[in-house]
Each structure stands twice: as C-alpha cells, then as structure tokens.
Structure 1
Amino acid sequence: MMKKIGITGQNGFVGSHLYNTLGLQPEKFERIDFKRDFFEDPEKLDAFVKQCDVIVHLAAMNRHPDAEIIFSNNIDLVKKLTESLERTESKAHVLFSSSSQEEKDNLYGKSKKEGREILADWAKKSGGKFTGMVIPNVFGPFGKPNYNSFVATFCYKLTHGENPVIDNDGEVKLIYVAELVQEIIAQIEVSETKEMYEIPHTSINKVSEVLAKLENYKKLYFDNGEIPELNSGFDLNLFNTFRCYFDVKNHYPVKFTQHTDPRGAFVEVIRLGIGGQCSFSTTVPGITRGNHFHTRKIERFAVIKGKALIQLRKIDSDEVLNFELDGNEPAYVDMPIWYTHNIKNIGEEELYTIFWINEPFNPEDSDTYFVEV
C-alpha cells in the first residue's frame, strides 16, 4: 500500500537525503512537500498534516550562540506540529529525530528529550503511532560545515585551502546519512510505536583518525586524482562524503599529464588503491550517453579522442554544470554521488572515452537511476 510521507525540514541535511531516497521508490512512497513557512501558518500546516500517513519531524535548530533560543525554537516546533495533529484529528505515524545528547547537560539535548515526550503523549491520547528515534552523530554528503558535523567542517576546510583544527580528540559514534535513512525507512515500514528507539551507530572513530583519513584523501585524490585504498564501508562513505565538498564547477575538468616521444603519447588515466571496472566507448557525433546518477559509486570519465560535453546536475538542483573536453588535451571529470550526468559528442569525429567505476556492474544492484540532466 502506498504511503504518503511528509518530512518537516525536508531541505535540511538528513531531510534532503530522506526525501531524495524515498523518491527512488515511487511505487511505495508518495512525498508530500513541506515548506518552512507552514509552521507560521496553521492553515497550511493543517493542510500538510491532513495529507500525510507518515510525518518525519526533522526540523530543528542545532546551533546558535544562545542555547535558550535553540531550546525554545525546538520545543515551539514540536508544539505547533502537535497542535496541528490534534486539530486535524490525525492518526499519522509520527517519527521524531532526537539525539544521543538527550542525556547530556545541555539545552539542545533537553529540547530533544522534551520534544520526544510531548509527541509520545500525543500518540497515547490520540491513538496515533509514534517512533522517537535517538540518533548518533550523523555524517555524509552536503552537510553544512560548522553546523551539522565535524566531518563536514573538516571536508570543507581541506578542499578550500584551510587547515582543520581538533578541539577535542575523543571517540565519536557515527552513522552515515544513507544508513540513517535506511533505518528511518525501516521504521516507516514496520509502523510500530516505539517511544524511544536508539538507532545503532555503525562506526566508532577518534576525531584524529578521521582527520588523518581525510588528509590522505586530500593528498592522493584532491591534489593528484588518485583513488585511495578504501578498506571498509566506513572508508567508502567517508571518501564519498569528502568528494562532495569540492568546488566542482572550478575543479573539473582535470587535464592529464602527457608523456610524448617520437612514437606518440602515453597518458596515465587513473591510479588507484582499489579495483573496479574499466571500459571504453566510441560515440558518433551528436549522440549523448548517460543521464543517470549513483548514490554510492565512484566514477571517472576520461576523454582521450574527440570533443565532448560532460554535464552534471545535483538531482535536487536546477544548476547544470557544463565541461567541454578535447582529446588533444586529454582530461577527466569524476562524478559526485547524487549528481545526474551525461556525455555528448560535440565534435565531427568519433569520441573515445574511457570509463572507470569502483565496482563491477551488477544488474540486480546497479545503483544507477536514470534522470535527465
């Protein structure tokens, strides 16, 4: 049965990942759009709530110089949602994102704990369903530096000419945002009341260990285009996170170093610490390949002959990035995850392109979603 799902904070870090991932299964989930101003207009908020079978309440303030403002803002949002649920006599399944900071002596954690308790009380009185998710530290692509995660801050600084500084080198329990999204979807599908559900972390790392990995990614990949050795799922997730903080518009295309002699030229296309699949294509003039995106794969397009237009667009953005490559000056563009991409022959001769991807194609788990750039 199709479920209609609304996400408060759908444009935020976790919200956007959840919204986009639900969009990959249109046969199971219908997304009900939410806008921030709904909280300021009871009629709009009620209209939103009435449409939803499931509401994932993610909207919250994480940081502010005045902790009292964080507390009052977060409690106010919960109360407004609860009042709308009561006015509309909703029986929706409400999922609430709390934090592992619940038990710490700070106003952010207190706001999360009290918010969870308010919604749990609503569910008891109304007969609705409620899942209070206590979430560990989350990292992943497109988080805001100096706001969502220390990982986001480190990635941004390393790719923008700044030096990260460790304030407290403790051990941190982490979960990758895509793993968290799958946990949320699993709770939506189970559809049971759990007043307090502690979502398990998927890794424990010292802050200094995370920074060392990211500094290695900068040295090998950002500076020299080499794919580093990735020994675990955490390493792959951290690397894909790091890649999403590049200034893509100005970083690509990256020109190869050509070694020429009387015989011709030699070009190293990719140096890597992991395997994968390498292939090449020829494309006749005027033809476009691709128009798809990946959520986990690492992919490189290298043009070695002919003229090509490579286009990228983040799937929740309208901005299209255009890169023209010419085989006379061989170059490559790497595809960030969640960016739909294509390549078109814009020349008058055949286009020769080498493709490398970090895992062999598996038709049963292709991680390939077709969307026009």
Structure 2
Amino acid sequence: MKKIGITGQNGFVGSHLYNTLGLTPDMFERVDFQKDFFEDEEKLDAFVAQCDVIVHLAAMNRHPDPEFIYSTNVSLAQRLADSLQRTGSKAHVLFSSSSQEERDNLYGKSKKEGRKLLADWANTNGGTFTGMIIPNVFGPFGQPNYNSFVATFCHKLTHNETPTIDVDGEVKLIYVGELVQEILDQIASGTTSEEYIVPSTKTIKVSEVLQKLEEYRTLYFEGGEIPKLETAFDYQLFNTYRSYIDHKTHYPVKFTQHTDPRGAFVEVIRLGIGGQCSFSTTVPGITRGNHFHTRKIERFAVIKGKALIQLRKIDSDEVMDFYLDGSEPAYVDMPIWYTHNIKNIGNEELYTIFWINEPFDPVDADTYFLEV
C-alpha cells in the first residue's frame, strides 16, 4: 500500500490520476492535497511527511503575463523542494514537465528549472525522482482555452460555436488515461530518471482532429448515431468529445416514432461500430445500475413505462435527474466517469433497451459500483 499525494489533484491530469488511484484502494491510499498548502509551510510539511509518493502537477499554464507564469511555477517547485528538505522526506517525487522545455518561452523555461530544482533535492538527499517530459495531453474534462486545443474544439462544437485553427501543424498527443498509466508505471518502477521522455501515442495534424470532431457533431450530437471508431485514438477522441456535451440540456433525446394502425416503430440506435444490445424489464420501485465506466459507451433507451435515470460525475455531488416515459420513447447516453442508474418510477413494468459498445468481459469489465 503506497500513500500517494498529488499537488494539483483537482486539475485536469490530477483529477484523472486521483480518480484512477481510487479504483484500486487495496493498492493505493490517496493523501489529500489542497491548493492553500503551498501558502502554509506547516500544512505543506504535514502533507509531504505522509507521502510515499508525490506527483507534482500543480502549475500555471496560461496568464497574460509570461513572467508571472515563470515565477509561479518555479516558486511552486522550490516550495515543494524546501518542504521535502525540512521533513527529511524519502518520497518518490514525480514531476510533470512539458515538451515545451526546449522552446523559447517562459513556460517551458519554468518547467525545466522546476525539474532541475527537484532533481537537485533528490541527488543531494538520496531521494528518488522522475522528471517526466510530457507531450500535449487531451481527454475528458480539460478546460477549453487552457489545457488543450482539443478541449477548445470540443467545447465550441457542443456549444454552437465555430472553432478556428491558428496554425495547422502536426502535434504529438497522449490521452490523459495513457499518461496516468505512464505515471503509475513510473511509480511501480521506483527508479530515478531525471529526464524521462513520455512517448506520444498519436501524431496528427490539427485540421485532422477538427475534421473528426466535426463528424462527431454531425453524426452523434445532431443525429444520435455512434460513429465508426476504428482505432484507440478514435475512441479516446470520441469519449473526450462526449464529455463536453451539456447533459442537462441535451438529454433525454426523444426518438422519432413512426406510427400506423399496427402500432409504432422506433429506431433505437444507428451504429458505425458493433457492440452488445440488451433488453430488460424492471418491476416498479426497483433501481438498476449504480456503477460507472472509464471507457465504455452506453445508451439507455426507455420504450415502455416510466423511468428516472440519474447521473453523477464521481468526484462531484451534483446529481442530474432525467425523467423518461415510454409514451414518448427517449434515450440517455452515459458519459464515462459518471456513475449512473435507472429506476422504475411507474406502476407497470419498465421496458428498457441497453446498448454498450463492447460485450461484457468479466476479466476486464470496466464497471465500478458506486451509488449515484
């Protein structure tokens, strides 16, 4: 059992790492970090003293004044190094640097100097240090106009705005889930590497990313169709795009019903990919689900009866309620990292069709139970 603390645990990469560690509580204990610890030596020292591993992610990426970015990031690294020194820590420290280290900008310079400060602490005190040089990171819940151009594109395409491309160059990308796995691998290795180049997993032009996202908007956001997803990158980009949809206003999505004297016909899902489709009945008062997925794409379609579908992002207290009625068949798609359930709130059996993009595999279920 390793005690792991993450500076910047509420940030983009930090929240993904924090939540992933929570999936295996028998292996990792998460030591809580708050932003104000950097302003209080006693609080910072108390945090550092508890940790077997510290992942230093806290940093400033954007600000109108580049000098402020530089001084802030260097100061954060220095304060952490000072605390490590004061507490006599032997923690394995991992530092998140950037491929911008070699560029002529103050952000890159701040990351390089911060990495050197912590490497010097490790060399002087016999500590373990990993300086990770990380390419462009994308994934769900990144801040638009801050973390990634992918986040900006996704937000604009789901909020009736038009993305623009400043420079259509090739970019090296890594999905946030893959970066988290890299961090976990480095923690497991327990070895010092002052300059570890994290390999990108995708090289692609900015315009090609935008083209894919525009296709997702047309097929999925506007038409409800799951697009053809051929590669791991396609799945990652599609799940990233889905995370920027305003679920409160977008769902439930009503189906188009075709009626005649025989009854009604509804197309439940149109697929560019396969998957598993299931049908269930639920008696009144019963709730199904209360679990979340980290990669799966899932649709709940109510075709008879009355249902309450609830969603909650696992690190949030906000619960979203969606009321569906089989008299107007509709669906809700489940975002990744949102725990979800469905309850029969009517007086008759509830008929539901469930579709998920991959058949259930008990060895790799990607299903984590958590009450909404």
Q: Same fold (TM over 0.5)?
A: yes
Give the aligned partner of residue 267 of structure 1.
Answer: 266
CA distance in 1, matches of 2:175, 2:224: 24
CA distance in 2, matches of 1:203, 1:79: 33
Give the aligned partner of residue 365 of structure 1.
Answer: 364
User: TM-score, structure 2 length as denominator?
Assistant: 1.00
Give the aligned partner of residue 189 of structure 1.
Answer: 188
Give the aligned partner of residue 211 of structure 1.
Answer: 210
Give the aligned partner of residue 76 of structure 1.
Answer: 75
| 1:140-166 deviations in Å (ceiling 9; x for gaps) | 000000000000000000000000000
Question: In the TM superposition, what are the counterparts of 1:231-250 in structure 2 within 5 Å?
Answer: 231-250=230-249
CA distance in 1, matches of 2:308, 2:117: 54
CA distance in 1, matches of 2:134, 2:96: 7
Give the aligned partner of residue 282 of structure 1.
Answer: 281
Deviation of the 1:215 alpha carbon: 0.1
CA distance in 2, matches of 1:353, 1:226: 19
Deviation of the 1:285 alpha carbon: 0.2
Give the aligned partner of residue 164 of structure 1.
Answer: 163
CA distance in 1, matches of 2:22, 2:188: 15
> Number of matched residues?
372
Question: In the TM superposition, what are the counterparts of 1:1-373 in structure 2 within 5 Å?
Answer: 2-373=1-372
CA distance in 1, matches of 2:230, 2:363: 24
Percent identity of the aligned residues?
Answer: 80
Question: Residue 300 of structure 2: SS of its match in structure 1?
Answer: strand
Question: Residue 156 of structure 1: SS of its match in structure 2?
Answer: helix
**Structure 1 unmatched ranges of 5 or more:** none
Deviation of the 1:31 alpha carbon: 0.1
Deviation of the 1:326 alpha carbon: 0.2
| 1:312-358 deviations in Å (ceiling 9; x for gaps) | 00000000000010000000000000000000000000000000000
CA distance in 1, matches of 2:279, 2:200: 40
CA distance in 2, matches of 1:133, 1:360: 36
Amino acid at match of 1:300: R
Amino acid at match of 2:78: K
Deviation of the 1:250 alpha carbon: 0.8
CA distance in 1, matches of 2:148, 2:74: 22
| 1:97-131 deviations in Å (ceiling 9; x for gaps) | 00000000000000001110110000001111000
Amino acid at match of 2:240: T
**Structure 2 unmatched ranges of 5 or more:** none
Amino acid at match of 2:367: T
| 1:204-253 deviations in Å (ceiling 9; x for gaps) | 01000000000000000000100000010000000000000000111100
CA distance in 1, matches of 2:313, 2:249: 15
CA distance in 2, matches of 1:80, 1:197: 23
CA distance in 2, matches of 1:321, 1:337: 15
Moved segments of 4+, more than 3 Å: none
Deviation of the 1:186 alpha carbon: 0.5
CA distance in 2, matches of 1:183, 1:25: 16
Amino acid at match of 2:29: E
Amino acid at match of 1:259: H
CA distance in 2, matches of 1:261, 1:248: 32
User: TM-score, structure 1 length as denominator?
Assistant: 1.00
Question: Residue 133 of structure 1: SS of its match in structure 2?
Answer: strand
CA distance in 2, matches of 1:124, 1:91: 12
Question: Residue 361 of structure 1: SS of its match in structure 2?
Answer: coil
Deviation of the 1:95 alpha carbon: 0.1
Deviation of the 1:292 alpha carbon: 0.1
Question: Residue 56 of structure 1: SS of its match in structure 2?
Answer: strand
Deviation of the 1:25 alpha carbon: 0.6
CA distance in 1, matches of 2:193, 2:148: 27
CA distance in 2, matches of 1:41, 1:177: 30
Deviation of the 1:281 alpha carbon: 0.3
